Amino acid sequence: MKDQLINTYSGKKVFITGHTGFKGAWLVKILHLLGAEVKGYALAPQTEYDLYNLINGDKLCDSITADLRDRNKLLSEIREFKPDYVFHLAAQPLVRMSYSIPSETFEVNAIGTANLLDGIRTLDKNCNVILITTDKVYHNNEWVYPYRETDRLGGYDPYSASKACAELVIDSYRNSFFNLTDFNSHKKLISVGRAGNVIGGGDWSENRLLPDIAKSLIKGNKVLVRNPKSVRPWQHVLEPLFGYLLLGLKMSNESNQLHGAYNFGPYNEDVLSVGQIVKLAIQYWGIGDFENAEQQNQLHEAGILKLDISKAESELGWKPQLSAKKAVEMTIEWYKVFSIDKSNISKFTEVQISNYLNLL
């Protein structure tokens, strides 16, 4: 699989939106190692400790600092670069923040996606497009059954609803402008990746479990646990990223056979509660404690969420390589290295990628 990925992406032009973010920075590093020519389009990193800065991202890609809502700028950059592949990761990705900036969340996640697809329409060449949404696009019935790609979409909070809106935008563009019946004319394939709760080193976002745990442990503070009983499909960031890359590979090799949505998540036995994840993180850190910080009348967040990954397994040959425990261990190991020697973190990030590649 490693050789197939190199053969697919080496020397190819890859356009990434959201390349300065957590998942985007990991993807930039991976594609650089695979030999791709990368152009990124995103807002500037927020702090000097953002993963993108720690891996010297500006040396790994051509970085464009701009807003996804700037349609003219986005279209211009896409037309000028003429990508072979597009990975759309840019988003307002936080559930709790979406309650504070709901209209902006819808603008970025839904209209921003439309702007990107308008840019794709201007290309007169083959291009494989992988648009990343989330496991939270599904209308959540709070049941124990894992959601399949054909299940109803919806969203309680503005973030989840905005991503479901983005999926409707994608579906409309796929039918209207990138229809398979006219593939030989437009030469575009449009697929969607829906990932579970992604963890890994370099995520410093507010109100996210592993970043909050890492910040507390680094400072020697108690870990405050907001929703200890909530159940999520936890997975290391490398799992879905290589799923997206495999999807791009398959889209290239199998032409217009792949043109839809795919879930990327862990096996059911690795769907753990927040409380279980916190205990594992403290165990791997080696010292620390936690405290239940549940509040009355707090903002609504899903209680249970699982993904059915059988479609990705059967059509792509993708499967999880890491258990949830291993994902937490790798994440905590990254933050421990960061706390000891920040100058070594870029190399350590590369080591984790290389070790994962050897599992494929």
For residue 131, pLDDT beyond 90: yes
Per-residue model confidence (pLDDT) at position 143: 76
17 forms beta bridges with 41, 88
Q: How confident is the model at residue 233 (pLDDT cuts 50, 70, 90)?
A: confident
Q: How confident is the model at residue 269 (pLDDT cuts 50, 70, 90)?
A: confident
Per-residue model confidence (pLDDT) at position 13: 98
Per-residue model confidence (pLDDT) at position 256: 58
For residue 234, pLDDT beyond 70: yes
- For residue 199, the surrounding DSSP H or E stretch is strand 197-199
- For residue 42, the surrounding DSSP H or E stretch is strand 37-42
For residue 3, pLDDT beyond 80: yes
Instruction: Give per-residue burial for 260-286: e unless 16+ CB within 10 Å, then b.
Output: ebbbbbbeeebbbbbbbbbbbbbebbe
Instruction: Give per-residue burial for 228-259: e unless 16+ CB within 10 Å, then b.
Output: bebbbbbbbbbbbbbbbbbbbbbbbeeeeebb
What is the token pair recorded at 292?
A: 């239940």
More confident residue, 294 or 137: 137
Query: Residue 257: CB partners within 8 Å, gap ≥ 6?
Result: none
Residue 73 CA to residue 153 CA, distance in Å, equals 31
pTM of the model: 0.94
Count CA atoms within 13 Å of residue 42 on its CB side: 30
What is the token pair recorded at 91?
A: 């988003």
Per-residue model confidence (pLDDT) at position 140: 84
Per DSSP bridges, beta strands 272-273 and 231-232 are antiparallel
For residue 296, pLDDT beyond 60: no
Overall CATH class of domain 2-357: alpha beta
Per-residue model confidence (pLDDT) at position 228: 86
Per-residue model confidence (pLDDT) at position 300: 53
pLDDT digits (tens, 9 = 90+) for 85-121: 999 999 998 888 999 999 999 999 999 999 999 999 9
